[in-house]
Amino acid sequence: MPTSPSARPTVPPTVWLARGRHTGATPDTALRHTLHWLKAGQDIDDFLELPAAETSPDLVFESRTRVAGGVTVRARLILAPGTDAGRDWVLVAEAEQPWDPSWPSPAAMFWPSEPGAGWNTDPATGLRPGVINPLPGDDKAVRRLLRDCARDPWHVHAVVHEAMTTDERGRVPLAHWLPPGLRDRVVEHRAAPQQLRVANWALREFGVEVPRGGAVVLPGGPAPEGYDADAFAVRAVFLDGTEPVDLVEAVVRYDALPRTLPDGAQEALTALREEWRLLTTAEELVRERALVAMYAEALEAMTKSRDLYREAAERAHEALAAYQEPAGSPSPERPPAPRVPSPLTRTLERLRAGARARRPAIEEPAAPDH
């Protein structure tokens, strides 16, 4: 089936995306402090803060590290201007190989890992990934919240229904069992035993349903290709402190589906690839060689273009001079071309000459004698 030209690009397999909101004070100071601390502890190779005059009104930070024994990961964080609710940020990271969820989260290349740091809040819902988020008590608020979450393209949302009120063993967040690369992107919603009906009423327009005592992974907006509500519904989740194997597996499978780039992610990814500043010495050498080759090709093209332009200009001047000659000006006289008699003419000339030669002379009459 042909792809529509207006189809949005998908997230490349080497790319990791996230966004959030820092609700605390001075997030830029927290970023600088954490980056210095991570570099000193060799948790990252290096970092760079781009000049504010070039990125205004945003602040841009770059960080580079290696995972899995030498796979380089480059990450770029864009911190937007502050509002009353906090400061939003977008983080895009790209590895040299397809992304593995078992690798550390790129968010750990910028933000502190202490709980309650206040940097990982979903701007759309105000919820936090990595913790348990109980559904609101008001039915209308539940419907609004789940509808927004079902359309969210940035995070993975999972709704878990408690068949009965849980004890402390059941209060272990789902993120505790997830691979490190998913913990900062998965939002867990907990529905109380009496909230099953309102939750399913809010989700029915998306074709998904939460099983009683189970869970479901919401489709996101738009739903990724290959998403099937039944395939991402878990019939039973035992909230007794044991690992919810089926739910973890469903979340990991969902994250592996090809998803379209969310709004704003394409620009961030392009900036990471084309405006990267944090280069190693070898990367700078490769870049300078590529620039030299590019300039040489451009110079050769300009030389060829100059020669073609010069030739075209000369021809144009010649045509203009010919066009500007006065129409009535006498043209230079040319000597008449010698007449070449035709064979018939030559034959007639010979006959005429022969007739004159054979004609007898006419004697004049003698004068009479007087």
Q: DSSP per residue over 133-145, as a string? A: EEPPSSHHHHHHH
Q: What is the per-residue DSSP string for 227-267?
A: --TGGGEES----SSS--HHHHHHHHHHHHS--BPPTTHHH
Do residue 237 and residue 291 come from a single domain?
Answer: no
Do residue 216 and residue 304 come from a single domain?
Answer: no
Do residue 230 and residue 153 come from a single domain?
Answer: yes
Do residue 292 and residue 147 come from a single domain?
Answer: no
Query: What is the identity of the amino acid at 24?
Result: G
pLDDT at 93 over 80: yes
pLDDT number for residue 124: 86
Domain end: 274, 300, 325, which one?
274
- Chain segment 272-317, per-residue pLDDT in tens: 999 999 998 877 777 678 778 888 888 888 888 888 888 888 888 8
User: pTM here?
Assistant: 0.77
Do residue 157 and residue 105 come from a single domain?
Answer: yes
Domain residues for 297? 280-315
Do residue 188 and residue 311 come from a single domain?
Answer: no
The SS3 assignment for 292 reads helix
Inside any domain, residue 250: yes
The mean per-residue pLDDT over the stretch 243-263 comes to 96
Judged on CB neighbours under 10 Å (0-12, 13-18, 19+), 139 is middle
Number of structural domains the chain divides into: 2
**If you count them, how many residues does the chain have?**
370
The SS3 assignment for 146 reads helix
Inside any domain, residue 320: no
Q: Which residue has the tokens 């290709």?
A: 225
- Chain segment 155-212, per-residue pLDDT in tens: 999 999 999 988 999 999 999 999 999 999 999 999 999 999 999 999 999 999 999 9
Query: What is the identity of the amino acid at 355?
Result: A
Inside any domain, residue 69: yes
- Chain segment 108-119, per-residue pLDDT in tens: 999 998 877 789
pLDDT number for residue 301: 85
Domain end: 223, 241, 274, which one?
274
Do residue 38 and residue 65 come from a single domain?
Answer: yes
- Chain segment 309-365, per-residue pLDDT in tens: 888 888 888 888 888 776 555 555 555 555 555 565 666 566 566 655 555 544 445
Indicate if the alpha-carbon torsion angle 253, 257, 262, 264 is positive or negative.
positive
Inside any domain, residue 354: no
Do residue 291 and residue 248 come from a single domain?
Answer: no
| Rounded Cα gap, residues 301 and 304, in angstroms | 5
Inside any domain, residue 104: yes
Do residue 29 and residue 136 come from a single domain?
Answer: yes
